[in-house]
Amino acid sequence: MKNKSLIIICITVILCAAIISITAIMITDNNQNNVNTSTEKQVSSNSTNSEGSVGSSESSISSESTSTSQTTAAFRIKSAKFYSDGNPNTGEKATINVGSEHAGETIDVMTYYYRGNSRLNYPTSYTTLVVNSNGEVSLTDTTPMPKYPSKCHIDIMYRGSTYTADASIGTYKGTQTITF
């Protein structure tokens, strides 16, 4: 009788541990979508600017920001312009505006593209960029995407804080501007 009770207690403890572990993994995976803990960085230079003029739209999407107080101008993601040329092998281009008050400053950017709930790209590290005089940075994700993305999640690391924004984008060729 003692052995049977001991087995039941052991099975219960194992099940509880498994449930707690699965919950922790799911929470960690959700946090990984918002903040990449990788310390590897890619340096990128954006000297080309080719954008099409086929179709454009503007919409307002809320953004979430987490930051600590800074002594410089407040940082926020103001808008993003997305460009798709219709070729699934060339990826997506994003031009993100953080304000001209941050011109010359360095930020680390990562963009995640989705179609519905399916992720289309899997970036592994932030891209380090310098904000231009217009307050913009541009980066192209060259991951082949067989479908136009319907959502972009933007992560920006700036002075130790992470700033995020989510944009719903149209699933068509051309340029779209989203204001946050």
Q: For the chain, which residues make up each domain, given as ranges?
A: 1-34, 41-179
Contact indicator for 131, 110 with CB cutoff of 8 Å: no
41-179, CATH topology level: Immunoglobulin-like (2.60.40)
- For residue 121, the one-letter residue type is N
Nearest partner of 143 among 166, 123, 116, judged by Cα: 123
Q: What is the pLDDT of residues 34-73, one digit of tens each?
A: 443 333 333 333 333 333 333 434 433 444 444 444 445 7
Q: What is the pTM of this model?
A: 0.60
Encoding tokens for residue 164?
A: 């995020």
Of residues 76, 135, 67, the one with CA closest to residue 101: 135
